[in-house]
Amino acid sequence: MTTMQFKPGMQEQLIVFTDSPDAGDPGCFCSYCVEMIEEDDTPLRLFIPRSAQHPGGAEYRLHFSCASQVCEWKSAARFTEGRKVEGNNG
């Protein structure tokens, strides 16, 4: 199981959306780079609980690639590169 958190100072830079269009919708922008999110992308949606400020709830939407700029994942599992060990017969 992984948990995700914003990198320091990043959350303040993100645009909060109170709508939630599907990827590929002309109104579906990224909270970080403000570019449209294409239909074949898989945006990361971070839902913000309802509050006085956002009575209908809200969300951050991020391109999958932008999410790695904005967030960091804490995971017990270590990601290992599929590095091929070359034969080294002196």
DSSP string for 6-53: EPTTTGGGSPPBS--PPTTSTT-B-TTT-PBPPTTS--EEEEE---SS
Q: Is 67 in the site for Zn ion (CB under 5 A)?
A: no
For residue 37, count CB atoms less than 10 angstroms from its CB and return exposed for 0-12, middle for 13-18, buried for 19 or more.
Answer: buried
Residue (22 or 50) nearer to Zn ion, CB? 22
Q: How far is the CB of 35 from Zn ion (least distance, A)?
A: 5
Is there binding between residue 63 and Zn ion (CB under 5 A)? yes
Q: Is 66 in the site for Zn ion (CB under 5 A)?
A: yes
Q: Give least dist CB 31 to Zn ion, A.
A: 8
- Residue numbers of the site for Zn ion (CB under 5 A)? 30, 32-33, 63, 66
